[in-house]
Each structure stands twice: as C-alpha cells, then as structure tokens.
C-alpha cells in the first residue's frame, strides 16, 4: 500500500491568507513550498517518495 493512498487535505487561515495543504504518510512533517506561477502539482512526482 502506498503512503499516498490516504491523503488528508484542507485549508488553513494563516495571517489573513488561505493556504491549501495535503498530509500523507507518517513521521516528521515535511513542508514543500512551490515557487512563483506554480502550484502544488509541481510536487506530484516527489510527493509519494517523501510521504
């Protein structure tokens, strides 16, 4: 079973900005931040490896 089969998603309000998040796997939290003009899909290939 892949660590990404059960992905928790949601939104968090931080300092007046709405942030989208995804949580998968176990262990220590690992934050991935994309750059300008990109979105969370830029991490799709890496997400399963790190989960």
What are the residue boundaries of the structural domains of the chain, listed by start?
8-50
Angle at 14 between CA 9 and CA 15, to 5 degrees: 165
Half-sphere exposure of 19 (CA within 13 A, CB side): 11
**How far, in Å, CA of 33 to CA of 38, rounded?**
10
Q: Residue 4's pLDDT is what?
A: 67
Predicted confidence at residue 1, as pLDDT, reads 43
CA distance linking residue 34 with residue 12, whole number of Å? 17
**Is 12:18 a contact under the CB 8 Å cutoff?**
yes
User: Alpha carbon of 50 to those of 12, 33, 36: distances in Å?
Assistant: 22, 14, 22
Question: What does the pLDDT look like over 1-42, one tens digit per residue?
Answer: 456 678 999 999 999 999 999 999 888 988 888 888 999 899
């Amino acid at each position: 079973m892949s660590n990404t089969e059960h992905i928790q998603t949601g939104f968090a309000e931080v300092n007046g900005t709405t942030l989208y998040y995804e949580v998968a796997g176990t262990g220590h939290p690992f934050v991935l931040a994309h750059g300008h003009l990109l979105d969370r899909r830029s991490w799709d290939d890496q997400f399963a490896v790190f989960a």
